[in-house]
Amino acid sequence: MLEQKTIEGKLFDFFKIKQSVPLEQVIRHYKLMGTIKPHKNIANRYEGTCPLCGTVKGKPFKVDLKNNRWNCFSCRCGGNVLDFVREKERTGIIGAATALCSWFSVDAETTREEIKLKKQTS
């Protein structure tokens, strides 16, 4: 599976970004480890204050490090690393992809030819 989007002639391989960037690194990038804590009983789970809506009560913000996904029961947001940056930066998917690639040195830019080639081989 390969996802891409065009802007100014640039194409991003979203799948590669999602695979390359652990959600934990994004959480650390935003210095949120103080507001969320490891879940008592479930491994690789964190929960706490939602960095998007600010809700503290009930620890609505859940992070699943194993599946690299997050969600908030309060503002009903959730998704992958790209969705998180998109919400946090109030930007689009391309803005989120650009930010993640620059913060974590991910080379996820691709070309139409590469996409064609990958589609043929997969």
Q: Which residues bind Zn ion (CB under 5 A)?
A: 50, 52-53, 72, 74-75
Distances (CA, A) of 42 to 27, 28, 36, 38, 117: 18, 20, 14, 8, 41
Nearer to Zn ion, 50 or 97 (CB): 50
Nearer to Zn ion, 18 or 62 (CB): 62
Nearer to Zn ion, 12 or 70 (CB): 70
**Torsion of Cα atoms, 71 then 61 then 87 then 79, to 10°:** -20
For the CB of residue 72, give the shortest distance to Zn ion in the complex, in Å: 3
For the CB of residue 32, give the shortest distance to Zn ion in the complex, in Å: 12
For the CB of residue 16, give the shortest distance to Zn ion in the complex, in Å: 28
CB atoms within 10 A of CB 53: 14
